[in-house]
Amino acid sequence: MNAHIDGAQTAPRKHLKTRPCDQPLLDEMQSCFRFFLDNFSRKQQTFGLMPDVVPNRRKVCSVASNGFMLAAMAVGADFGWIERDAAKSICDGTLETLLGLQQDHGFLYHFYGIEEGKRYRNCEVSTIDSALLFCGALTAGSYFGSNTLKLARKLVRRADWDWFFDPTHKHFFMARYDSGMSVHWDFYAEQLMIYVLAAANNAQCANEAYNCFGRLWGKTADGEDFIHTWFGSLFAHQFSHAFVDFKGKTDPFGVDWFDNSVKAVRNDRLFCASQPKLYPEGVWGLSSCAVVGGYNGRIGSTPSGNNNSENVSDGTVAPYAALASVVFDDKHALDLAHLYKQCAALNGRYGLYDSFNAAEGWSAKCYIGIDKGITLLMGANYYKRTVWKYFNSLSEIRSAMRKLGFVSKPTE
């Protein structure tokens, strides 16, 4: 298998009608795809496991990054960056590896050692990281069909979502540590995909969990009502949307989640514009990312939780957050792609580094798998609806959306 894959890594690029303004984003997308193609494990016992971060100093695989990697293979084949058979072989081998990893009630641990495929230290069983893996697996399965879809469904259907549900609080838990279940999905964040997957698996709790999580309403910088997240990070308005096509749909409460993300993106852009000492003109994109000295999951704009005290806005910007917003605001996202691709300090082997802080004259020199992944998938949805088309065409996903009460908005 490995010889076949390594010997047929790339394919002639398929014809895609583009404009000059598209090229910087398309170049970045291809760099993101190369990130996944170059860095997954080729070892027999851990084939396909994807690093959390590159350079991968801890030798750790992130199952969320693996979800993006599986979807990336479908995108790469669809855009002509890899031969279809080679991409399918990668996905099949990866899914077989994933099915053999230690798991708990069908859910995977957040991290595994990429050398031996064992649980990394005492890390948690994670609902959101498992969900991202499941969504990527189903995307690849739908795209390649046959054995790939069979393996993907086997992986996804093992998950016992009712086991991860707290009937007292009527929320899903976020994680299970050795000491027990921990923290609830009690407010809107990146977890919408969880309810879709639970409903797709016929979990009895899916509707109750969806109906009961909190919606934090606030105002955008230009005065529009929208549902914000606890930290004000853009990724939370993007990750579920990379897979689930919410456009033109409302839930039982009348919420249009796609339109809500449009407002969140505009709010982020206006928030940055209001602080010129921290953010250069036209630059925006506040989201969880690498920062000076490590990683910060609280990078975001207001409004945020606890009376706007939960977000961190220190001048650190995540280019992926703006580029992955292209489906919500193509003009400003494409403008930034053009600006960023001209800046040598922000670009390396796999395109744009994870983050930078202009006020401090600093840029990260690393790539984070989930951040490269969201850029690639959202770009693919913008140009060809690749992920949306294949993920949402699955019968279990269509059924799940109906079960949760999503309906199409009436045409005007």
Instruction: Give me the CATH number covering residue 20.
Output: 1.50.10.140
Is the residue at 250 inside a domain? yes
DSSP class per residue in 128-189: HHHHHHHHHHHHHHHHH-HHHHHHHHHHHHT--GGGGEETTTTEEEEEEETTEEEEE--B-S
- Same domain, yes or no, for 26 and 142? yes
Q: What is the identity of the amino acid at 231?
A: F
Is the residue at 315 inside a domain? yes
- 138, 159, 180 — which closes off a domain? 159
- The separation between CA 95 and the C-alpha centre of its own chain, rounded to angstroms, equals 18
Is the residue at 368 inside a domain? yes
- Same domain, yes or no, for 154 and 226? no
Is the distance from CB of 220 to CB of 226 less than 8 angstroms?
yes
Q: What is the pLDDT along the chain (412 residues), one digit of tens a residue?
A: 343 444 344 444 556 777 888 999 999 999 999 999 999 999 999 999 999 999 988 999 999 999 999 999 999 999 999 999 999 999 999 999 999 999 999 999 999 999 999 999 999 999 999 999 999 999 999 999 999 999 999 999 999 999 999 999 999 999 999 999 999 999 999 999 999 999 999 999 999 999 999 999 999 999 999 999 999 999 999 999 999 999 999 999 999 999 999 999 999 999 999 999 999 999 999 999 999 989 999 999 999 999 999 999 999 999 999 999 999 999 999 999 999 999 999 999 999 999 999 999 999 999 999 999 999 999 999 999 999 999 999 999 999 999 999 999 887 6
Is the residue at 186 inside a domain? no
Q: How many residues does the chain have?
A: 412
Residue 312 CA to residue 308 CA, distance in Å, equals 10
- Same domain, yes or no, for 241 and 371? yes
- 159, 191, 226 — which closes off a domain? 159
- Same domain, yes or no, for 152 and 252? no
Is this model's pTM higher than 0.85 or not? yes
- Same domain, yes or no, for 291 and 410? yes
- Same domain, yes or no, for 269 and 361? yes
Burial classification of residue 338, based on how many CB atoms lie within 10 Å of its CB (0-12 exposed, 13-18 middle, 19 or more buried): middle
Is the residue at 169 inside a domain? no
Which residue range forms the structural domain that includes residue 41?
1-159
Residue 220 CA to residue 268 CA, distance in Å, equals 9
pLDDT confidence of residue 10: 47
- Same domain, yes or no, for 137 and 223? no
Residue 119 CA to residue 117 CA, distance in Å, equals 7
Ranges of H-type helices in 201-300: 206-212, 239-243, 257-273
Total domains, the chain: 2
- Same domain, yes or no, for 403 and 261? yes
Nearest by Cα to 226 from 263, 189, 186: 263
Q: Tell me the pairing of strands 351-352 and 347-348.
A: antiparallel
Cα dihedral sign, 228-364-127-34? positive
- Same domain, yes or no, for 121 and 248? no
- 144, 159, 174 — which closes off a domain? 159
- Same domain, yes or no, for 90 and 18? yes
pLDDT confidence of residue 412: 63
Is the residue at 318 inside a domain? yes
pLDDT confidence of residue 16: 75
Is the residue at 196 inside a domain? no
- Same domain, yes or no, for 141 and 225? no
- Same domain, yes or no, for 290 and 377? yes
